[in-house]
Amino acid sequence: MAADNPFRAFLKADLWREWARQETDQRKEIPPPPIQKPIPPDAPQVALVAPEDFTLGTMPLIEAIRRRRSRRSFTPAPLTLEELSFLLWATQGISRTPSGEPLQRGAAVLRTVPSGGARHPFETYVAARDVTGLAAGLYRYLPLEHTLCFLQEYEAVRPRLALAARQQRMIAEAPVVFIWTVIPYRTEWRYSIVAPICIKLSTSLPDTGGYPKMSATQRYR
Ligand SMILES: Cc1cc2nc3c(=O)[nH]c(=O)nc-3n(C[C@H](O)[C@H](O)[C@H](O)COP(=O)(O)O)c2cc1C
């Protein structure tokens, strides 16, 4: 399959003209959807290290870029809660509101990462196997609160991790696995038919075969 690959159309930007003519939900003045999934009732919440208290991150950016590599085997050392807090904040944390006003539920926010139209459709789940001071389990990151909410025991999730990553066993060996899912409507509210392209462009893994985007932490051998 080459030039006749029908999926190549996805790479083109020719849907914008049609989008400009559409009655999107935003143009209909329908209120935007919530920026964070609701917290399940009774889900215990775990406090994270606040961004202003981070002590790590002293390596110069240029050095970090020079040393960056994909790693597939990991040391037996656990992650610290500060490292996990930093990774969550650095990948989906809220940095401020658009005009600097205090955070308000329902209002748009800016995060540490960019997103088409600041729609931020991602939800972050963490399968934590070995983090100091954190019970093993599946958690969801709550960026508004900068906390984790506990969802499931880790052992119930572990067998499904490697499966979701197309049998790559190292995923279940990582001390922490990040799983990003998408609420498409957050982006569709503004971008309707162009939303899937915006969402895909916002990921570093453009296609994992329809499975959630997965990434092991860089605590490597
Ligand atoms: C879209 C995308 C999907 C990838 N999927 C996997 C994967 O499923 N398993 C894996 O071990 N590495 C995966 N990688 C990592 C690449 O194999 C890696 O970036 C490449 O070999 C270059 O190595 P480097 O990251 O050390 O420069 C993926 C990278 C990208 C950008």
Interval 110-152: pLDDT, tens: 899 989 988 999 999 999 999 999 999 999 999 999 999 999 9
Ligand 1 center from residue 33 Cα (angstroms):
33
Q: Which domains does the chain have, with CATH numbers?
A: 25-98+106-216 (3.40.109.10)
Strand partners, 41: none
For the entire predicted model, the pTM comes to 0.86
Distance CA 53, CA 45 (A): 19
- Choose which residue among 11, 68, 70 to substitute to test ligand 1 binding: the one with the highest number of ligand atoms within 8 A of its C-beta: 70
69 Cβ closer than 6 Å to some ligand 1 atom? yes
Contact 92, 122 (CB under 8 A): yes
Ligand 1 center from residue 77 Cα (angstroms):
23
Give the three-class secondary structure for 128.
strand
Read off the pLDDT of residues 2-50 as tens digits, 9 standing for 90 and up. Answer: 778 888 877 777 889 999 999 999 999 999 999 999 999 999 999 999 9
